[in-house]
Amino acid sequence: MRVLTVVGARPQFIKSAPVSKAFLAQGIEEYIVHTGQHYDDSMSAVFFDQLGLPKPIYTLSAGGLNRDAMIASIRKDLLPILESVRPDYVLVYGDTNSTLAGALAADELAIPLLHIEAGLRSFNDEMPEEINRIQTDELSTILFTPSEEANKNIEAEGFLAPFQKVVTVGDVMYDALLMFKDFSRHSAQMGDIDTFNSPFALATLHRQENVKHPERLKERIQTLNTLHNSGLNVWMPLHPSTKQQITANGISIDFITAAPVGYLEMLWLLEKAQIVLTDSGGLQKEAYFMNKPCITLRNETEWTELVDSGANELFTLSRPAQEIISVVERLKNATMPVQEFYGKGDAAALITRTLKNLS
C-alpha cells in the first residue's frame, strides 16, 4: 500500500510523526510532500530533524502566497507528483491551505482521501481554517476523527456520501506528545534557563483573526502586557507573521519574547509553565495533555469539550484586559479534569489498522 502524505505547517509535522512511525512498522509505503507553506527554518525544517520524520520526496515553494494563490499553486504542483507516485491514498492533516490543496488534487485525480483530525468546527466562517476543514471533510473517503464531538459535527451537517466512512481514532497529537515528552529540552535560543525558575505563563499568538487586524492585535497584546505587569511573567516565542504585524503597527510589548522554538522546546516550556495563553488549536490540547490550564485568546474554539470541562476558558475580544488577572488566578487554582476526550495515545495504530484492513 502506498500513501502520499501532504504536510506544510508546524502542527502537521508533529501530527505526522507517530503516523509515519506506525506506517513504517506495518509496511505501508509513505511518500511525504512538504508544500513549503511554512518556509522559515525554525518553523519547518527543524521538525524533520527533531522528530526524525522521513524526508520529503518533494518540497514545494508555496510559502508567502495569499490563501487562494497558495491553494492553487500547491494543487497544481501536486498533480504531476501524484501521477508519478500513483498512491492508493492521499493523506492530509488538519485545516491548513496545504490540507485543502491536497484534498483538491486527490479529488481531481480520483484518489481516495484520508483526513486526520476530521469533523472539527469553530462555527466561525471568518476563519479560513473553517472553510478548509469543511471542504476537506466533504472530499474525504475516510474521516479520522479525534473525538465524539467531531463525530456529532459531521452527523449534524449530513453531507456523508455512501463512499465515505467516519472512524474515531483519538488525537494523533496525544500520540506525539507521549512519544516525545521524555526528550523535551531547553535550548540556548530560549535564553538563560534561570529565567524559567520563576512562575511564568506561556503565550503564543498567530491566528489571522488576531494578527491581521491591527486593533485586535493591539487588544491581545495589551491583555498579555497586563498579565505580565501584574507580576506573572509572560513568555512568548514570537511567530514570524505576528512579529511583522507588531512592528508594522508600532505595538509595544512589555512581556518576554524569543524566536520560535522547536517542538521539544515547546514541550519543555509546557512542563515548566503555570498556565498557557494561546490562539493555537494544537497548544490548547497539549496544555490539557500536560495537565496545564489554558486560556484561549479567541472568540471560539474547535475543542469545545475542553471549555465545557473547565480545562480551558475563552478570553473573547472586547473583554477588559484587567480581567485576565482574575481569570488566570482562578484557573491556576482549579482542579484539572482527567484526560478522557482524545483517546489513549494509540490513534496512529488505529489509523494504520484501518488501512491494513482495507487492503
Q: Per-residue DSSP letters for 207-234?
A: -HHHHSSHHHHHHHHHHHHHHHHTTSEE
Residue 178 forms part of a structural domain: no
Residue 83 forms part of a structural domain: yes
| Same domain, yes or no: 156 and 207 | no
| Same domain, yes or no: 211 and 104 | no
**What does the pLDDT read at residue 55?**
86
| Same domain, yes or no: 55 and 162 | yes
Q: Domain range holding 323? A: 183-332
| Same domain, yes or no: 209 and 143 | no
Residue 177 forms part of a structural domain: no
**What does the pLDDT read at residue 46?**
67
Residue 24 forms part of a structural domain: yes
Residue 221 forms part of a structural domain: yes
Per-residue pLDDT 10s for the chain (359 aa) are: 999 999 998 889 889 999 999 999 999 999 999 999 876 565 556 667 777 778 899 999 888 889 999 999 999 999 999 999 999 999 999 999 999 999 999 999 999 999 999 999 999 888 899 999 999 999 999 999 999 999 999 999 999 999 999 999 999 999 999 999 999 999 998 999 998 999 999 999 998 889 999 999 999 999 999 999 999 999 999 988 899 999 999 999 999 999 999 889 999 999 999 999 999 989 999 999 999 999 999 999 999 999 999 999 999 999 999 999 999 999 998 888 877 899 999 999 999 999 999 87
**What does the pLDDT read at residue 49?**
76
**What does the pLDDT read at residue 39?**
60
- Our count of domains for the chain comes to 2
Looking at 34, 38, 115, 206, which residue is catalytic? 206
**What does the pLDDT read at residue 274?**
97
| Same domain, yes or no: 201 and 279 | yes
Q: Is 206 tagged catalytic?
A: yes
| Same domain, yes or no: 122 and 253 | no
CATH number at residue 82: 3.40.50.2000
**What does the pLDDT read at residue 62?**
87
| Same domain, yes or no: 201 and 301 | yes
Phi, psi of 88 (to 5 degrees): -75, -30
Q: Where do the DSSP E strands lie in the chain?
A: 2-7, 29-34, 58-59, 89-93, 113-116, 142-145, 165-168, 200-203, 233-237, 256-258, 275-278, 294-296, 312-314
| Same domain, yes or no: 64 and 90 | yes
Residue 74 forms part of a structural domain: yes
**What does the pLDDT read at residue 307?**
95
Residue 338 forms part of a structural domain: no
| Same domain, yes or no: 21 and 108 | yes
**What does the pLDDT read at residue 45?**
65
Phi, psi of 235 (to 5 degrees): -120, 125
| Same domain, yes or no: 151 and 112 | yes
Residue 132 forms part of a structural domain: yes
